[in-house]
Amino acid sequence: MTSSILHVYHPSRNLNLLEHTPYGPTSSAPPSSHASQPPDHILLFVGGMFDTFNHPHYVSDLAHLFLISSTSHQPWRVMHVQLSSAGRAWGIFSIDRDIEEMATAITFIRTKLYTHKYIDIVLMGHSTGCQDIMRYLTALNPLNPRNAARPSVEGAILQAPVSDRDAVLHTIDDEDAPETRKAYDAAMKIVKSTAEKDRRNVILPMNLTKPLFAPAPINIERFLSLVSPDSPQNPSVEDFFSHDLGDHIFQRTFGSIGKNGVLQLSSQSGRTQGSKSNEQSPIPTLLVLMSDSDENVRSHIVSQKNSLNQWGKALTHESGCLLDPASDVILNAIHDVGGDDWPSQEARLVNLRAAVLSYLSSRVGDIGSEAWDTWRRDREKVMRLKRDDGRDVNAQVGVLKL
């Protein structure tokens, strides 16, 4: 069964942490009593544009791997952090506010929520949440003298890291929708006529931004951060993933992940119970999971495999971080790895979760056999659906609705 606990981690902004506390069939007491047994490690999820605690749905699928029982201690727990930019508010807050709130949430977990021991925390971001994680790992620490230093984390996972700039360019280049180009040009005209000091407080007309980003209020500062009009020569603070950025740019971003001490090895790294690999990297690694059927990617222009290879080249021993070997472009996965047909379930319940479990096991440990047993049971259910269908789509790409 599934349940959860809500924690207020930032009272002045009324921001919450959702702690997933799924309990198994052996549990007879209420889930809150089992959740009172503190975990040792947290997978902390950061959502993307429009995401709330209910989306993406695979967060609960990950949480279900770590069932709480009355007979054994569950070392891992999944949490979802609410940022000021959650839901439809993403357009009026900056990425630097996001990472400040992420730091506050991590500090809350370690110093107020669970104080029994040091808690290992692995960040996992979806979509624009990947930009948050990249900024968290690579920005100056602290950002300025007024900020507290961001606490370190023991791992980082990027799921569906896509370029908002690439997506906007695809939209405005669509010959079947010329109104999007007109909207973009009109928005840029307002941008250029607005003094830089006022850009944070000026909301662009929604009739101009809706064709580009869907309905949400967007101030000029965030609009420029997302569309990054000076890229590829001078990318904005959150243009990490555009396909036309050069290797020298990726050296400055991906190549700096391991250099400021925010991403560190866990003191418990090396525990590999249930892991698919006993190979241990002496330095931290970054897990990148892309979706081969991502609807936000121009597949005729952007090769996600090439992007993954390019980012991997910037992650070296000299940079202090490597691309994790479990990184992959997941077959038949859409942007949020949703869908109910068996190719979509295979992408989400089997391939996505296997990569995450392998990473958590190799980076921190304590996964144990129960999580892998749950994964195997779900894999067998998907394989039965696959066998019953009788068609082989393993060699195909983007087969979602059979």
Domain ranges of the chain: 4-161+242-389, 164-239
Distant-in-sequence, close-in-space partners of 274: CB < 8 Å, separation ≥ 6: 357, 361, 367, 368, 369, 371, 372
Decide: pTM greater than 0.85. yes
pLDDT at residue number 153: 98
pLDDT at residue number 2: 64
**Helix 368-389 and helix 353-363, axial crossing angle in degrees, nearest 10:** 160
Domain 4-161+242-389 has CATH 3.40.50.1820: yes
pLDDT at residue number 272: 42
Distant-in-sequence, close-in-space partners of 389: CB < 8 Å, separation ≥ 6: 342, 402
Quickly list DSSP for 327-346. Answer: -EEETT--TT---SSHHHHI
pLDDT at residue number 36: 60
Quickly list DSSP for 247-314. Answer: HHHHHHTGGGTTTSSSB---TTTT--TT-S-----SS-EEEEEEETT-TTS-TTT--HHHHHHHHHHH
What is the CA 396 to chain-centroid distance, rounded?
26
The Cα 360–Cα 233 span in angstroms is 36
Q: What is the mean pLDDT of each run of 10 residues along the chain (402 residues)?
A: 87 97 65 67 96 94 92 91 96 97 98 93 98 97 92 98 92 84 96 96 96 94 97 96 95 95 82 44 92 87 91 94 97 95 96 98 93 96 89 54 44
pLDDT at residue number 393: 61
Whether the CB-CB separation of 73 and 37 falls below 8 Å is answered with yes
Whether the CB-CB separation of 345 and 330 falls below 8 Å is answered with no
Question: DSSP letter at 352?
Answer: I
Phi-psi region of 398 (alpha: psi -120 to 50; beta: other; left: phi over 0): left
Quickly list DSSP for 16-72. Answer: EEEEE--B-TT--S-HHHHHTS--SEEEEEE--TT--TT-STHHHHHHTTS-B-SSS
Q: Give how far Cα 279 sits from Cα of 207, 326, 362, Å.
A: 53, 12, 8
Phi (first) and psi of residue 116, to 5 degrees: -70, -25
